[in-house]
Amino acid sequence: MADFCMQCAVKILGVKPEQNDLKGLSTPEDTQKGLYALALCEGCGTIQVNHNGFCVSKDCLEKGHKD
C-alpha cells in the first residue's frame, strides 16, 4: 500500500490534509521537541514527518515542497 505525506496527499491524490497516511506516527509533544518520525512517502522518498504527517525534510525528492 502506498503512503503519502500531507503535502503529497493533497498534491497527488487531491484529498483533505487531515486524510494523509502518515498522520499520527508521533505525538504533538515530539514535534514541539523537534523529534520527527522516519517514514517512506511515495512522492518524497525517505523523509521525516511531524505528528500531522507533514514532511519536514528539506532534502526530500520534492525539494522540501518548495516551488
Ranges of the chain with pLDDT below 70 = 1, 67
Quote the pTM value.
Answer: 0.88
Residues 6+ apart with CB under 8 A from 26: 35, 36, 37, 49, 50, 51
Look up residue 60 and give its three cell numbers: 526530500
